[in-house]
Amino acid sequence: MKQKVTKAIFPVAGLGTRFLPATKAVPKEILTLVDRPLIQYAIDEARAAGIKEFIFVTARGKSALEDYFDHAPELEAKLRRDGKEELLEALKATNMESGAIAYIRQHKAMGLGHAVGCARRLIGREPFAVILPDDVIAAEKPCLQQMVEAHEETGGCMVAAMEVPPEAASSYGVLDVAEDMGSLVTVRGMVEKPPAGQAPSNLAVIGRYILTPRVLVNLQRIRPAAGGEIQLTDAIAMEVQQGRPVYGYRFRGERFDCGSKAGFLQATVAFGLAREDLRHEFAAYLQSLTAMRRAAQ
């Protein structure tokens, strides 16, 4: 029987040191792309894929995330009094049904695998999704929805995958591909952040996963790798070693690495240009910049 994916884990415990000083007092997931925090894009993508339960793995200093997904009665009452229907509508996306969202604290920063493992008691027997909010994906059909549809056919574990330049491979989990079937590949191994020149391919893991509960069992067993971190990649690779299927899914869409400043800026430009209400003015500004630069040369 096909099992539906209805739960998603959002690892949001990271310190966000790359964005200091901004992230001294604001969680990096609250940093804003145009007018929505990063976490909102992740939640919207999850909802589009049919996710009903949202599990946040958080840490000290992340309470702004809990407030963000709570009702704000005073603000809502004021907007209602002032007849600001559009703003009330915009706030709706931040509301969660009671009991649909859970927060678990990761008490020690021991890596992505450890963070996902912290949610194990909230996951039952069904496959579940993991979304890394740093990876923002612009796509006609949201990436996780593409994956859920593909997963209905394949079952097993599935990771989002994307070709990266060989010199960038050591920043990612990298797939060792067994069979390449186009949008789907089967995997014979996975390596987390391989040393330069030793990547098994240039197909990198991007932050969307559909995993079987068995991966959570594997996470309990694996030892911390380099840097004392428990790697999600290693727990998924264990599935392959035990003869169970793991797929890479080449999604259709454009991925932005919002964990880096350059990626965040690129996303800001792309999402700004994609917005009907901003496009005109913003494109004209960018054009004037290019024209100025040309004139200066």
Using CB under 6 A as the criterion, which residues of the chain lie in contact with ligand G1P when the complex forms? 112, 132, 135, 172-173, 192, 204-207, 232-233, 259
Helices 143-154 and 38-48: crossing angle, nearest 10°? 40
Residue 66 C-beta: closest distance to ligand G1P, Å: 22
CB of 25 to ligand G1P, least distance (A): 22
CB atoms closer than 10 angstroms to residue 15:
16
Task: Return the number of the residue (79 or 158) whose C-beta is nearest ligand G1P.
Answer: 158
Q: Decide whether 53 or 192 has the Cβ nearer to ligand G1P.
A: 192
Write out the two tokens for 19: 């964005």
In the bound state with ligand G1P, the residue whose beta carbon lies nearer, of 51 and 130, is 130
**217 within 8 A of 121, measured Cβ to Cβ:** no
**CA gap 289, 295 in Å, rounded:** 10
Query: Which residues are paired to 36 by β-bridges?
Result: 33
Q: From the CB of 58, what's the least distance to ligand G1P, in Å?
A: 16
What is the spatial distance between Cα 234 and Cα 191, in angstroms, rounded to a whole number?
Answer: 7
Contact present, 129 and 209 (Cβ < 8 Å): yes
Nearer to ligand G1P, 30 or 199 (CB): 199
Place of tokens 């990649």: 233
* Residue 61, both tokens: 């200093």
- The nearest distance, CB 27 to ligand G1P, in angstroms, is 15
Nearer to ligand G1P, 87 or 177 (CB): 177
Distances (CA, A) of 103 to 37, 54, 173: 18, 9, 26
- 3-state class (DSSP) for residue 36: strand
Q: How near is the Cβ of 170 to ligand G1P at its closest, in Å?
A: 10
Shortest Å distance, C-beta 112 to ligand G1P? 5
Smallest distance, Å, CB 41 to ligand G1P? 14
255 strand-pairing partners:
137
**Closest separation between CB of residue 208 and ligand G1P, Å?**
9
Pick the closer one to ligand G1P by CB: 79 or 233. Answer: 233
Nearer to ligand G1P, 151 or 255 (CB): 255
- Please identify, using beta-carbon distances, which residue of 216 and 232 lies nearer to ligand G1P: 232
The answer to whether residues 248 and 179 touch, using CB atoms and an 8 Å cutoff, is no
The two structure tokens encoding residue 131: 């979304």
Please identify which residue in the block is written with the tokens 């009991």. 99
- In whole angstroms, give the CA distance from residue 178 to residue 186: 5
Which residue's CB atom is positioned nearest to ligand G1P? 173
Query: How far, in Å, CA of 23 to CA of 134, rounded?
Result: 14
